[in-house]
Structure 1
Amino acid sequence: MRDRRGFDARDGGILATARGSDPPEIETIHSTGFGDWLRIDTQDVRLSATKHMVAHVVHFPRIALVVALDRDDLVLIRQFRFPARSWLIEVPAGRVEEHEDPASAARRELREETGYLAGHLEPVGQIRISPHLSDEVTHMYLATDLRLGAPAREEGELIQRVVVGQNRVRSMVDAGKIVDAKTIAALSIIGII
């Protein structure tokens, strides 16, 4: 039997945790760091008075993402992604440093990756790409009033600037030329696709 919010009452006690406003008790059992980018925690999650489960959480830095519009054109990047072993077309994005404001990171990433400077930067929201696995939060911004300068890419970044008409973006997604989830989400939220 489901309650009015769709929870199944036959879940053996887990429903009580799902209904409550307080999160379940979580204790980190083991933590393994991998450089300054990520850490994986093994956690004991108390679901009810008698039920526990083990969860693995990837702690990843916050990300700042920029949808940059130069009049009717969209500024993208083509970047070689080592885990995917392929070139992907994406919006500019990158890590927010520990004590950095996400808007500052967005401006920095746009300049570093494309060479463009934003005269106007507007926050458009936040997304979580993989909340089943990671605590990563992506802060999204819309950049307009752009001026072109020189990019300042980090060592090891294989990036090319790509400028396309906004009217071509939907067909690029449909054709599988843009497959990056954060890019598609941001373009959808802003209304480009």
Structure 2
Amino acid sequence: MFGIPELPQILGSKLFFQGKKFQFEVNKLRLPNGAEGEWECIRHPGGALAVPITNDGKLVLVRQYRFAVKTRLLEFPAGTVESEEAPETTIKREIEEETGYRAKKWRSLGKFPLAPGYSDEFIFAFLAQDLEKLAQPPKQDDDEDIEVVLMTPAEFEDLAMTSNQIDAKTICSYFLALPFI
């Protein structure tokens, strides 16, 4: 039987940046083999994401500009979990703001680390079904430029396999939802 490996020892931590949504720190560690080094980490409160599907089987995505990659990406609606907020509360607000839909049926799809090589962010994924279009959707955030896009699962899968227009959290969440669609 395999034993549980010893964890590295944290020798120190220094905060370099505190932003609105995340912080950046550098940690000095000693590995179990005695080697020491510095590891950079983005600390993030986590995000919540919905895989919304209409009653006629269409996926609801948003296309928005992402500065870091300098292009517009297709994504499922998502948002940062606010302090003292449950991920379920976050995503119910975000789906309405970003898509103009409200879901009557929700299913948790679990959570997964987004980029554990440099961030502690987890995405809490949900399936949103039995959607209704809101007569008066909430106002989008001023810093968001969002276009709502409807597509079939087959169109989504084709685009996911043949382009770089869909981000990883969206592709991962789609496949978590697939058994329930």
2:151 match: secondary structure: strand
Task: Give the match for residue 125 of structure 1.
Answer: 110
* Partners of 2:139 and 2:165 in 1: CA distance: 24
Cα gap change, 1:22/1:160 in structure 2, threshold over 3 Å: closer, same or farther?
Answer: same
Structure-2 residue corresponding to 1:143 = 128
CA displacement at 1:26 relative to structure 2: 1.4
Q: Deviation per CA, 1:108-151, whole angstroms, max 9, x where unpaired?
A: 11011001111011110111121010000000000001111124
Tell whether 2:146 aligns with 1:159: yes
Alignment map for 1:66-85 (pairs within 5 Å): 66-71=50-55, 72-85=57-70
Q: Identity of counterpart residues, as a percentage? A: 29
**Aligned-partner Cα distance in 1 for 2:7–2:53:** 40
SS of 1:187's equivalent in the other structure is helix
CA distance in 2, matches of 1:177, 1:152: 29
Q: 1:75, 1:69 → 2: CA distance?
A: 6
Q: Name stretches of at least 5 consecutive residues in structure 1 with no aligned partner.
A: 6-18
- Residue 167 of structure 1 and its aligned partner are, at CA, apart by 2.5
Counterpart of 2:47, as a letter, is: I
Please identify the structure whose Cα radius of gyration is greater: 1
Matches within 5 A, 1:1-193: 20=4, 23-48=7-32, 50-71=34-55, 72-149=57-134, 150-176=137-163, 178-191=165-178
Given that residues 89 and 177 in structure 1 are in contact (C-alpha distance below 8 angstroms), is that contact kept between their aligned partners in structure 2?
A: no
8 Å Cα contact 1:42-1:56 kept in structure 2:
yes
Provide the secondary structure at the position in 2 that maps to 1:83. Answer: helix
CA distance in 2, matches of 1:45, 1:100: 32
Choose 171-180 or 38-47, whichever is displaced more: 171-180
Give the whole-Å Cα distance in 2 for the aligned partners of 1:167 and 1:63.
26
Letter in 1 for 2:124: H
CA distance in 2, matches of 1:109, 1:27: 39
8 Å Cα contact 1:115-1:152 kept in structure 2: no
TM-score by length of 2: 0.89
Tell me, in whole angstroms, the C-alpha distance in 2 between the residues paired with 1:64 and 1:123: 10
- Structure with bigger RCO (C-alpha 8 Å, 6+ apart): 2
